[in-house]
């Protein structure tokens, strides 16, 4: 939501989750590959911001990933803002989890002045 509209991308342990990848997350004691750090990136021409969640499993097979967010691009206005950030979660083996976040873009200036070569 916002102008300019942010482009959202999802990552798991620093690797982008692309269209066609599996988006369901199930904690399985025999296959802990869905556990780790999930990150949502919101980017527009004003910059980039991140929100992350470490997913832990209570029981066998837990593991963690890590992610160091990149710096924001230089701009004259603030980057998108997460109004509902991801949070670290713990779950029992076999439980499902839903990760979601909300992003807004700070408003553009209320007035814009245009000048031409003659002033």
Per residue in 63-119, pLDDT (tens digit) is 443 333 334 333 456 777 888 888 888 888 888 877 777 777 766 554 444 555 554
Per residue in 23-45, pLDDT (tens digit) is 556 556 566 677 788 888 888 88
Question: 47: how many CB neighbours lie within 10 A of its CB?
Answer: 19
Q: Where are the domains of the chain?
A: 7-104
Question: 40: how many CB neighbours lie within 10 A of its CB?
Answer: 21
Query: 57: which residues sit within 8 A by CB, 6+ positions away?
Result: 27, 29, 32, 35, 90, 91, 92, 93
pLDDT score recorded for residue 73: 38
**CATH number for the segment(s) 7-104:** 2.60.40
The token pair at 30 is 């025999």
- The pTM of the full predicted model, rounded to 2 decimals, is 0.49
pLDDT score recorded for residue 69: 39
Query: 65: which residues sit within 8 A by CB, 6+ positions away?
Result: 12, 13, 14, 36, 37, 54
Instruction: Give the span between the Cα atoms of 84 and 57, in whole angstroms.
Output: 23
DSSP per residue over 5-21, as a string? Answer: PPEEEEEETTEEE-TTS
């Amino acid at each position: 939501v916002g102008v300019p509209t942010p482009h959202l991308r999802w990552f798991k342990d620093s690797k982008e989750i692309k269209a066609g990848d599996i988006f369901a997350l199930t904690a399985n004691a025999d296959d802990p590959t869905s556990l780790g750090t999930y990150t949502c990136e919101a980017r527009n021409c004003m910059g980039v911001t991140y929100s992350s969640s470490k997913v832990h499993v209570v029981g066998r097979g837990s593991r963690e990933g890590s992610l160091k967010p990149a710096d924001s691009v230089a701009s004259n206005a603030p980057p998108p803002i997460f109004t509902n950030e991801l949070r670290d979660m713990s779950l029992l083996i076999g439980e499902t989890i839903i990760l979601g976040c909300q992003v807004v873009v700070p408003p553009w200036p209320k007035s814009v002045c245009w000048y031409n070569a003659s002033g």
